[in-house]
Amino acid sequence: MKKITLIFSVCFALISCNAQKESTKSNYETSISQTKNPKLVVGIVVDQMRYDYLTRFYSKYGDGGFKRMIREGFNCKNNHFNYVPTYTGPGHASVFTGTTPKYHGVISNNWYDKVQKEVVYCAGDNSVKSVGTESAAGQMSPHRMLTTSFADENRLFTQMRGKTIGIAIKDRGAILPAGHTADGAYWFQGKDEGVWITSSFYRNDLPKWVNDFNSSDVAESYFKDWNTFYDINTYNESGSDDNKFERGFKGKEKATFPYDLAKLKDENGGFDLLKTTAYGNSLTTDFAIAAVKGEDLGEDTVTDVLTLSYSSTDYVGHNFGVNSKEVEDTYIRLDKDLERFFQFLDTKVGAGEYTVFLTADHGAVNVPAYLQSVNIPAGYLDYNSRKKKFVAFLEEKYGTKEVVENVSNNQIFFNKTKIKELNLNLHEVEQDLVDEQISYDNIAKVYTATTMNSTNFTTGIEALLQNGFNQKRSGDVIVLDDIAHIAYSRTGSTHGSGLNYDTHVPLLFFGKGIKQGETLQKTVIPDIAPTISALLGISFPNGATGMPLGFVLD
C-alpha cells in the first residue's frame, strides 16, 4: 500500500511539475505576445538628407512614403546633430549608439591614428576576410566603434534570438548601425562585379538568398535611361537643369537629363555608376525586401532589427549639388521606393506590427559658387597655400616642420616625441599654433585639445566640437573654417560642419508604439537610440548620452 501511495505521489509530483513548466512556458509566450513591442524595427538613414528636402519637394511626394510617415507618425521638425564633424561614419554610429564621437570613437570616415602613425578607415579591418568578392572591399567590421548600438542591446536582451541585419550600398552605412553582434551586414561591390558582399566578421559564406539575388539580373536591369520621374518642366523646386554648378558623368558633355546609363557605364566605373544615380536607392530597396524574406525578419514575437541606409542620395548630392534637378528627382524616386517597401512590410510583417524611424547622417551646403552668384557669402579654401604658409611658420619658429605629425580633418596632430626632444613646452606650442592658424584667411575659430579637455561647453559651436572630440583619437589643435567655405570642387555639394545646413536633418517615427503628431522642440541625433530602446523596454546602448523622446511614444 505504501508503495502504491509513493508511486502515486511521485507521479502526481511529475505531473504537477510538467504542468507548471507548461504553464510557465504558456505564460511566457502569452506575456511576449501581449507586449507592445513591434515584430520588426527598421532604422532608415538617408545619406546627405537636409530637413528642407521634406518640405521643398513635399508637393511631389506620393501618399505612401514620406507623407505616410508624417501623416501616421511623428515629425520632429527641429532635429539636429549635436557634434562636429558631420560625416557619414560618425553620423551612422551616432544614430544607432545614442551618443557622439566623444564616446563611440568614430571621429570621421578616416582619421590619423596616433598609435599606428597612419590614416585608418572607420570600418576597415585587415584581420577579417572578404566574403562574396576577391577584392579587399569586404575587409570590414565595426571594431573601431567603441560602444554598443541599440541593435546590440536588443540582441543581448533577447538572448540573441532577435535578429539584426544591416544593409547599405556603402560598407560603413551597413556595418556601424548593425553593431557588433549583427547576424549580417551587406554592402554593394560595384565596378565589374555588381554584387552584395559581407565579411568574415559575420560569416564565412553568403547565405542562399544573397547568392540568389546576386545571380539575378536585378542590378544590371538598372542600366537604363535615368530621366525625370515627372515632366522636368514641373520641377520648380530646384534650379535650371543646365548650369555650371554640377559635375555630371564622364562621356556626357552636359550634366542634364536624360542619362543613358548603359552607354555611360564603361567610362564611369561599371556598376559603380548605379551608386551615383537614383536607381542605387531602388536597388537597395530590392535587396532590403529580399533580406526581410530571406532572414524571416518580423516573423515571430521576438523583435528583429533591420538597419537600412540609402547611400545614393549622398553620391548624387556630391555630384550635382543641393539645388539640382538630379537631387529633386532622386528624392521623388526614393519616396516611391519607401512606399513600395512599406507596402511590402504591411503584407509580410503586418500593418501596425512594425516600427520605422527615418533620419539622415548629415545635411549638405549649397554649392558655394551658386551662393556667390546670388550674393550670399561663400567660398572655397586653398589648403595648399595654407599648408605652405604653415610649414614656413613651423620651420621659422621651431627650426623644423617635424613638430607636427599630421594635418587632417581640420585637426593638427603633434609629434610629441619631437616636441620633447626639442625641450618645448607642449601648451606653449598649442597656443603658438592657435595664434598662427587664426591669422589665416577663412579660418573662423581655433581651439586646443587642452581647452576641449578642461572646459565644459554647453552651447554654441564649442559644445559641438567638444561632443566630437575623442581624447585618445582626436588631434591637438582643431580648426573651424568660415561659414559656407569648403575645400571642394566648384561643382557639387559637401558637408562636415556644425552649421545648420549640415546639422538640421529629418527625424520621422511611425508604426507600432508611435504617436501621431509633430514638434518644433529641439531634438538631437543621440536621442534616437534611447527612444527605440525605451519603446522595446531594453537597456540603452552602453555609451548613450541622448534622452528618450517620450512624447513620440504611444
List the CATH number of the domain containing 275.
Answer: 3.40.720.10
Q: Evaluate whether residue 96 is within a structural domain.
A: yes
As a whole number of Å, the end-to-end CA separation of the chain is 62
List the CATH number of the domain containing 415.
Answer: 3.30.1360.150
Alpha-carbon gap, residue 329 to 313, rounded angstroms: 10
Q: Evaluate whether residue 136 is within a structural domain.
A: yes
Q: Across residues 445-453, what is the average pLDDT?
A: 97
Instruction: Say yes or no: 137 and 205 in one domain.
Output: yes
Helix axes 150-157, 88-97, angle to 10 degrees: 40
19-28, 118-127, 454-463: the lowest-pLDDT one: 19-28
More confident residue, 348 or 33: 348
* Residue closest to 332 by CA, chosen among 228, 198, 477: 228
Q: Evaluate whether residue 376 is within a structural domain.
A: no
Instruction: Say yes or no: 530 and 476 in one domain.
Output: no
* Residue closest to 295 by CA, chosen among 277, 310, 309, 307: 307
Q: What percent of the chain has pLDDT over 70?
A: 94
Under the banding of pLDDT at 50, 70 and 90, the label for residue 471 is very high
Q: Which of 451, 481, 511 is the last residue of a domain?
A: 481
Q: Across residues 86-95, what is the average pLDDT?
A: 98
Alpha-carbon gap, residue 325 to 525, rounded angstroms: 28
Under the banding of pLDDT at 50, 70 and 90, the label for residue 20 is very low
Q: Phi and psi of 121, rounded to 5°?
A: -100, 140
Q: What is the pLDDT of residue 206?
A: 98
Instruction: Say yes or no: 513 and 404 in one domain.
Output: no
Q: What is the pLDDT of residue 36?
A: 79
Report whether 327 contacts 382 (CB < 8 A): no
Report whether 104 contacts 97 (CB < 8 A): yes
Instruction: Say yes or no: 188 and 336 in one domain.
Output: yes
DSSP letter at 54 equals H
* Average pLDDT for the chain: 94
Instruction: Say yes or no: 348 and 389 in one domain.
Output: no
Q: What percent of the chain has pLDDT over 90?
A: 94
Q: What is the pLDDT of residue 30?
A: 41
Task: Give 482: exposed, middle or buried? Use CB within 10 Å, 0-12, 13-18, 19+.
Answer: middle
**pLDDT tens readout for residues 383-398:** 999 999 999 999 999 9
- In order of 81, 113, 386, 405, the CA distances from 413 in angstroms are 25, 10, 16, 6
Q: Evaluate whether residue 21 is within a structural domain.
A: no
Instruction: Say yes or no: 289 and 202 in one domain.
Output: yes
Instruction: Say yes or no: 127 and 242 in one domain.
Output: yes
* Statement: residue 31 has pLDDT above 80: no
Q: What is the pLDDT of residue 467?
A: 98
**pLDDT tens readout for residues 33-79:** 445 799 999 999 999 999 999 999 999 999 999 999 999 999 999 99
Per the DSSP assignment, residues forming a β-bridge with 46 are: 310, 360
Q: Evaluate whether residue 313 is within a structural domain.
A: yes
Amino acid identity at 190? G
Catalytic residue among 30, 55, 88, 97: 88
* Statement: residue 452 has pLDDT above 80: yes
Instruction: Say yes or no: 261 and 346 in one domain.
Output: yes
Q: Across residues 489-495, what is the average pLDDT?
A: 97
Alpha-carbon gap, residue 18 to 419, rounded angstroms: 74
Q: What is the pTM of this model?
A: 0.93
Instruction: Say yes or no: 406 and 343 in one domain.
Output: no
Report whether 166 contacts 174 (CB < 8 A): yes
Q: Which domain holds residue 458?
A: 382-441+443-481
Q: Which of 433, 458, 481 is the last residue of a domain?
A: 481
Q: Evaluate whether residue 430 is within a structural domain.
A: yes
Q: Evaluate whether residue 16 is within a structural domain.
A: no
Burial 493-523 (b: 16+ CB within 10 A, else e): bbbbbbbebbbbbbbbbbbbbbeeeebeeeb
Report whether 18 contacts 12 (CB < 8 A): no
88 is catalytic: yes
Q: Across residues 12-28, what is the average pLDDT?
A: 42
* Residue closest to 326 by CA, chosen among 180, 491, 117: 491
Answer left, alpha or beta for residue 418, where phi above 0 means left and psi between -120 and 50 means alpha: alpha
Instruction: Say yes or no: 208 and 66 in one domain.
Output: yes
* Residue closest to 68 by CA, chosen among 483, 352, 493: 352
* Residue closest to 485 by CA, chosen among 313, 324, 366, 363: 366
Alpha-carbon gap, residue 224 to 222, rounded angstroms: 5
Number of domains the chain is built from: 2
Q: What is the pLDDT of residue 35?
A: 56
Q: Across residues 148-154, what is the average pLDDT?
A: 98
Q: Evaluate whether residue 32 is within a structural domain.
A: no
- Give me the sign of the Cα torsion angle 194, 199, 202, 207: positive
* Residue closest to 470 by CA, chosen among 86, 89, 146, 180: 146
Instruction: Say yes or no: 504 and 548 in one domain.
Output: yes
Write down the H helix ranges in 194-321: 208-215, 261-264, 272-275, 279-294, 312-320
Instruction: Say yes or no: 278 and 350 in one domain.
Output: yes
